[in-house]
Amino acid sequence: MISKRKTSTAIKYLFRYKSNMSHDIDHELNEIMAKKRNELMGKAQLSDSKKNTITSPIVLTDLNFDNVVGQYLLLVVDFWAAWCGPCRMVSPIIEQLASEYAGKVVFGKLNVDENPRISSTFGIQSIPTIVIFKNGKAIDAIVGAVSKSHMQSTISKYLANWKSFVKEALIKAFIGKRLM
């Protein structure tokens, strides 16, 4: 017959072993979850950075304009035409700025001859006209061919508040998810 003392000692060892084993399993699970969380966050950051680093102007049309304008915090749209000499002077500047401001500002080009609906919606009568959109709303415009430095200074006014743009967008996204 086994004594009570040996039984209680055996039970203590069993509980300790089970407790240690449970602790080891919990620790291992936490490590696995942390590793997976880091992997997923890394993937999310990569996909976000790919989305936000558009390095050349987006071609805008009557069909995709509303969708694209609402998609970006700060969008600069060049309203142009193929026959327009000043538009051809501005085009390389827009290309350069799209590359320089990649990740902060998205640039788009809309041919007014091929897309009359959007052109008339914004009352575009002279080209080139560069319109700056913040959160889907037109907030500023530059009419005519201007220098790169002039465009940079105009865009910079809206980049000075870049952190507040991002904060505002995050709050809107968070509130939108909470309401769903």
Q: Against a cut of 0.85, is the pTM above it?
A: no
Among this protein's residues, is 145 annotated catalytic? Answer: no
Q: Taking the chain, what is the end-to-end CA distance rounded to the nearest angstrom? A: 66
Q: Please say which residue of 27, 52, 77 terminates a domain.
A: 52
- 106 and 76 in contact (C-beta within 8 Å)? yes
Among this protein's residues, is 84 annotated catalytic? Answer: yes
pLDDT digits (tens, 9 = 90+) for 42-95: 665 554 544 558 899 999 999 999 999 999 999 999 999 999 999 999 999 999
Say yes or no: 136 and 91 in one domain: yes
Say yes or no: 46 and 68 in one domain: no
- 62 and 92 in contact (C-beta within 8 Å)? no
- Average the pLDDT over 156-168 and give the result: 71
Say yes or no: 28 and 91 in one domain: no
pLDDT digits (tens, 9 = 90+) for 96-139: 999 999 989 999 999 999 999 999 999 999 999 999 999 899 99
In this prediction, residue 30 has a pLDDT band, given cuts at 50, 70 and 90, of: confident
Tokens of 70: 């609402």
Tokens of 87: 């538009």
Q: Active site residue: 54, 69, 73, 87, which one?
A: 87
d(CA 42, CA 36): 10
- The dihedrals phi and psi of 144, each to the nearest 5 degrees, come to 95, 170
Say yes or no: 120 and 65 in one domain: yes
Handedness of CA 164, 168, 169, 173 (dihedral sign): positive
* DSSP-assigned beta bridge partners for residue 17: none
Q: Active site residue: 84, 93, 98, 110, which one?
A: 84
The enclosing domain of 68 has a CATH number of 3.40.30.10
Residue 170 has pLDDT above 80, yes or no: no
Say yes or no: 74 and 129 in one domain: yes
Please count the structural domains in the chain.
2
Query: What's the alpha-carbon Rg for the chain, to the nearest Å?
Result: 29
Can you give the residue range of the structural domain that contains 125?
A: 54-176
